[in-house]
Structure 1
Amino acid sequence: MTQATTERFQGQHLVRIGEGDSYLLLAPEHGGRLVRWVHRGEDILYWPDDADWARVAKVRGGNPLLFPFIGRHFVDGAPGKWRDPAGAVHELGQHGFARDLPFTVSAFSDVAVCMTLASSAATREGYPYDFAFSVRYQLLADGLEVALQTRNTGDRPLPYYAGHHFYFALPHLQRAASELSMPAAERVRQSPDGGLTKPEAGDGEYRLNDGRLQDTFHVLRAPGPVSLALPGRSIRLALDDADGEDLHGARWHAVTTWTERDDSDFYCVEPWLGLPNAIHHGQGLRWLAAGQEESAVCRLLLAGDVIRNS
């Protein structure tokens, strides 16, 4: 394999793919994090100038990878725990451990990179399964394709539900001028005990200052793209192909919307394979047989000058 190209950024040596003013910067040693996605000179994702590289898992920015489970899990009302089918209780932090652990670069080219996290003593303590979890980023002429692949390398069924945490760059004062378009979906949130709220019918369009979007899971009930119309550009998340079939393997179960504060200059739109606590309630829980693998693919397609003044 050709050695990956690196670039120094914020005191770190990051992997770079792409050319000129369209490229990616990635941090395999820090959870396989996509740190920057620059398209024609513009940052598509948010990354703070004062990022704490000693605690990258806590940095708000880029695209953290969520595996093996997404969100918060509860056992008898206690967070950070989950119960396996045999009744054993394990400790596992919010969004799992992938964003905390080093990945290895398993493939590399001028326009694509694949990074892999394999099971180890560090993962088996809270998740006693054998696996290989990979992410593949490929630059497109008009965007980015991302594939999450999970392979069961053990000898028993493996439960999982992975996802993304895209921090899209958006000045907070522009939220009211930004739109989110959704296919048919139901809005659900997580209750304090780890359960799910009663589903509500979702809307086809939202302004990003709509409080109903905060910390909300949009459970997909029909195929179709999720689109962000921001001042100066649009971002179309293609979660299925034109025929309404998933691009390859696992279907996306939900899209989560979230931001941290009223003055945060980012907005998160996150494709997820399941809902938090799915290991207990089953919504989006996936099982891989021994030796089986599957992928979940999304394409982020870009266009400019799409927002109308209103």
Structure 2
Amino acid sequence: MPKFQDQEVIEIVRGGSRLLLAPQAGGRLLSWHLHGASIIHWPDAADWTQPALVRGGNPLLFPFIARHRVDGRIGFWRDAQGVVREVPLHGFARDLPFAAQVDEDGASVRMTLKDSAATQAGYPFRFRFEAVYRLVDEATLEVSLITTNTAEVSDAKDSSDARMPYYAGHHFYFALPHTQRGEATLTLPRNVYRHQLADGTTTEPQAGATRYAFDDPQIVDRFHCIEGEPETPVRIDIPTLNRSIEIDLKRPDSLPWYAVTSWTLAPDADFYCVEPWLGLPDAIHNGLGLRWLAPGQSETATLRIAVSALR
């Protein structure tokens, strides 16, 4: 395996497109370059002692997304039987090593995480969580998240005990120089927006716009909840880089994506995160996007990211 920042990585190349991935660090897509230009941001000096906290790439969010609270305490969730368990911010997947297999054509990689002693205390379910990255062509990246409940009904007292709750998502760090945010725009399908309050509750939906400038402070940490099928892709236009990025959320046989979240760390951060999610924070308690898998059931959520020059 090639080395990057003194770490072993998987490299996927097609034409002028190059992906770097670190399965041992949460199944992380580290970066995507197209003809040398950074599409997915990764910092030059990353702290590999805590890779889940590095601001870059695409951390995989599973089994739950963002922050959860029980009786005001952050980092906990309550199951249907009233048992309270710990859950890390954005779930545990981004902290754990994945197994990886590169396809024979060298254009895709499948990374897999299974339940273990490390996951059972906080999430007592048997599962297989997979992320498949495939370069369709040099400018198009397809990503699938596949979640399977690997339990059998005999593992539980009854079939309802074996059902598995989850809501997964992406955390793409798109490269965007902070000085160019004012000229760059985010275009969305028809949506309503929400955000999470300091006490952990989620606001009621309000009608959202379909176009924002990236220097608009209102879109930091905003959940753009998609209404119906997305008739248009999510689109990032960066005129100063002559770059357009389309995120197609309407793929055949895919689950519907619940929301697209926009977030950045600070006004001077040279990235902006555009994050397709299957559910919202605290969905295990509020039901906003909460999904359930019966024993043996599997679901796939797919999207495509296409890069082109502005027309």
Same fold (TM over 0.5): yes
Q: Which residue of 2 aligns with 1:244?
A: none
Structure 1 residue 236 corresponds to structure 2 residue 246: yes
Q: Distance in 1 between matches of 2:44 and 2:306?
A: 26
| Residue of structure 2 aligned with 1:133, choices 129, 132, 146 | 129
Q: Distance in 2 between matches of 1:8 and 1:69?
A: 31
Q: Distance in 1 between matches of 2:260 and 2:310?
A: 25
Q: Which residue of 2 aligns with 1:3?
A: none
Q: How does 1:1-310 map to 2 (within 5 A)?
A: 6-19=1-14, 21-109=16-104, 110-141=106-137, 142-155=139-152, 156-222=162-228, 223=230, 224-231=232-239, 232-241=242-251, 247-306=252-311
Q: Distance in 2 between matches of 1:123 and 1:20?
A: 39
Greater shift, 18-27 or 56-65, is seen at: 18-27
SS in 2 for 1:53: coil
Aligned residue-pair number: 296
Normalising by structure 1, what TM-score? 0.93
**Aligned residues with identical type, % of pairs:** 51
SS in 1 for 2:9: strand
Q: State the Cα deviation string for residues 66-118 of structure 1 (Å, max 9, x = none).
A: 00000100111111000001110000111000000000014433100000000
How far residue 20 of structure 1 moved from its aligned partner, in angstroms, is 5.3
Q: State the Cα deviation string for residues 39-91 of structure 1 (Å, max 9, x = none).
A: 22211011111101111000000000000000100111111000001110000
Q: Distance in 2 between matches of 1:217 and 1:234?
A: 22
Q: Distance in 2 between matches of 1:221 and 1:280?
A: 22
How far residue 200 of structure 1 moved from its aligned partner, in angstroms, is 1.4
Q: 5+ residue gaps in structure 1?
A: 1-5, 242-246
Q: Distance in 2 between matches of 1:184 and 1:98?
A: 31
Q: Distance in 2 between matches of 1:239 and 1:249?
A: 8
SS in 1 for 2:267: coil
- The residue type paired with residue 238 of structure 1 is D
8 A Cα contact 2:14 2:135, kept in partner = no
SS in 2 for 1:126: coil
8 A Cα contact 2:237 2:310, kept in partner = no
